[in-house]
């Protein structure tokens, strides 16, 4: 295998280091922003090409792209197909090596000048370039996930505050209200930060055609949900509508646990929003589906009928979204 200068394949896992392979040896770095920036700075102005699976590692991709490096992506299923065909055990290092091998196979093992390649948007299959649009999507996803984490923190802190006040009352502590004020102040500060993130999401969404031409016109879908849909689905390539449904968790748990949990929650809120806001077209479809299941299964309870109607409506919406974004 011939080593190409400054071409690296990388693989990652949640809460684990990023494994980077240069064609000869593998090394790992922490997934923190500081560690990634330090690694990228080691090129001292030189440019590199990084090979990734599509989806995930958005912070690394974003920082590398901003620093002027080429970032190439490949659908995860292509790596899995290669792993299965070689009967290779799944690990971060093995997947990094498979990424390198796939790049070599598609480029003949020879060095390439990627600048005209990227400028002309001609990318050797099955790799494709991380572009300005991908950068915008990655920024949305990062902000959306921080919004969701902060929202969960606020809920937890409010619950802790209630328990805190009750325990102090039981302990006969005077001025419980004053003691709790500092906790309330911290919660209010986080609520203010949450509102600021939402405003930032609203501004960044304007760079996305699917928001301007489709999502923004749907009653019940606001900037947070819109950012979540665009950020979590991104520009990933799906072989079929079924593949996108699989990614969204619309399959029995016994078949697979590999899905985007954020996207699954987003779709739940999309459907709840349609029902609550009586979104034209979608609310009527929900009522039709409930009537359909009620007539087809007279023995079902109302809760089960409602659940099935929501699931099918979510699938219809996701399929429609997939068509609007182009696959």
Kindly compute the dihedral angle of the four CA atoms of residues 132, 44, 124, 103, in this order, to the nearest 10 degrees.
-130
Domain presence at residue 81: yes
Residues 199 and 254 in one domain: no
How many domains are there within the chain?
A: 3
Residue 29: pLDDT band with limits 50, 70, 90? very high
Residue 94 has pLDDT above 50, yes or no: yes
42-79 pLDDT, tens per residue?
988 889 999 998 877 888 999 999 999 999 998 877 88
Residue 37 has pLDDT above 80, yes or no: yes
Work out the average pLDDT over 165-179. 74
Compute the distance between CA of residue 243 and CA of residue 266 in angstroms, rounded to an integer: 17
Compute the distance between CA of residue 113 and CA of residue 163 in angstroms, rounded to an integer: 62
Compute the distance between CA of residue 232 and CA of residue 261 in angstroms, rounded to an integer: 10
Residues 188 and 269 in one domain: no
Domain presence at residue 217: no
CB neighbour list of residue 313: distance below 8 Å, 6 or more residues apart: 271, 274, 282, 285, 286, 289
Label the pairing between strands 18-21 and 128-129. Answer: unpaired
* Mean pLDDT, rounded, of the chain: 86
Domain presence at residue 72: yes
Q: Pick the residue with more confidence: 288 or 174?
A: 288
For position 183, what pLDDT does the model report? 83
CA-wise closest residue to 176 among 184, 166, 186: 166
Work out the average pLDDT over 239-244. 88
Residues 126 and 38 in one domain: yes
Domain presence at residue 191: yes
102-149 pLDDT, tens per residue?
998 876 444 444 443 444 444 445 788 999 989 999 999 999 999 999
Select from 69, 101, 130 the last residue of a domain: 130
Residues 311 and 253 in one domain: yes
Residues 123 and 154 in one domain: no
For position 124, what pLDDT does the model report? 47
Rama region for 57: left / alpha / beta (φ>0; ψ in -120 to 50; rest): left
Q: What is the pTM of this model?
A: 0.79
For position 75, what pLDDT does the model report? 82
Work out the average pLDDT over 35-47. 90
Q: Pick the residue with more confidence: 176 or 27?
A: 27
Work out the average pLDDT over 256-275. 89
Domain presence at residue 216: no
Q: Pick the residue with more confidence: 175 or 306?
A: 306
Work out the average pLDDT over 266-276. 97
Domain presence at residue 12: yes
Select from 169, 190, 207 the last residue of a domain: 207
Domain presence at residue 20: yes
Residue 5: pLDDT band with limits 50, 70, 90? low
Q: Pick the residue with more confidence: 92 or 177?
A: 92
For position 327, what pLDDT does the model report? 58
Residues 119 and 140 in one domain: no
Residue 252 has pLDDT above 90, yes or no: no
Residue 317: pLDDT band with limits 50, 70, 90? very high
Select from 130, 159, 174 the last residue of a domain: 130
Domain presence at residue 266: yes
């Amino acid at each position: 295998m011939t080593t190409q200068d400054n071409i690296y394949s990388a693989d990652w896992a949640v809460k684990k280091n990023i494994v980077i392979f240069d064609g000869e040896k593998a090394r790992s770095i922490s997934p923190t922003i500081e560690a990634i920036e330090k690694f990228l700075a080691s090129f001292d102005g030189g440019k590199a090409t990084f090979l990734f699976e599509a989806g995930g590692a958005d912070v690394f991709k974003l920082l590398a792209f901003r620093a002027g490096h080429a970032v190439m992506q490949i659908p995860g299923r292509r790596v899995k197909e290669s792993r299965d065909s070689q009967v290779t055990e799944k690990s971060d290092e093995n997947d990094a090596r498979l990424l390198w091998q796939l790049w070599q196979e598609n480029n003949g093992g020879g060095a390439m000048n990627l600048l005209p390649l990227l400028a002309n948007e001609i990318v050797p299959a099955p790799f494709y370039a991380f572009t300005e649009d991908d950068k915008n999507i990655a920024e949305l996803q990062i902000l959306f996930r921080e919004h969701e984490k902060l929202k969960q923190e606020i809920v937890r802190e409010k619950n802790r505050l209630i328990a805190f006040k009750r325990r102090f009352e039981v302990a006969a502590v005077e001025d419980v209200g004053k003691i709790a004020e500092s906790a309330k102040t911290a919660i209010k500060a986080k609520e203010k930060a949450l509102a600021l993130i939402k405003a930032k999401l609203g501004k960044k969404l304007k760079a996305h055609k699917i928001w301007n031409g489709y999502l923004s016109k749907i009653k019940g879908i606001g900037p947070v949900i819109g950012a979540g849909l665009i950020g979590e689905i991104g520009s990933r390539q799906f072989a079929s509508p079924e593949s996108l449904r699989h990614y969204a968790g619309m399959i029995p748990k016994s078949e697979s646990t590999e899905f985007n949990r954020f996207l699954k929650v987003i779709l739940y809120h999309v459907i709840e929003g349609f029902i609550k806001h009586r979104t034209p077209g979608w609310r009527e479809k929900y009522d039709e589906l409930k009537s359909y299941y009620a007539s087809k299964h007279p023995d079902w309870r109302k809760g089960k009928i409602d659940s099935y109607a929501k699931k099918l409506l979510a699938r219809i919406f996701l399929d429609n979204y997939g068509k609007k974004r182009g696959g």
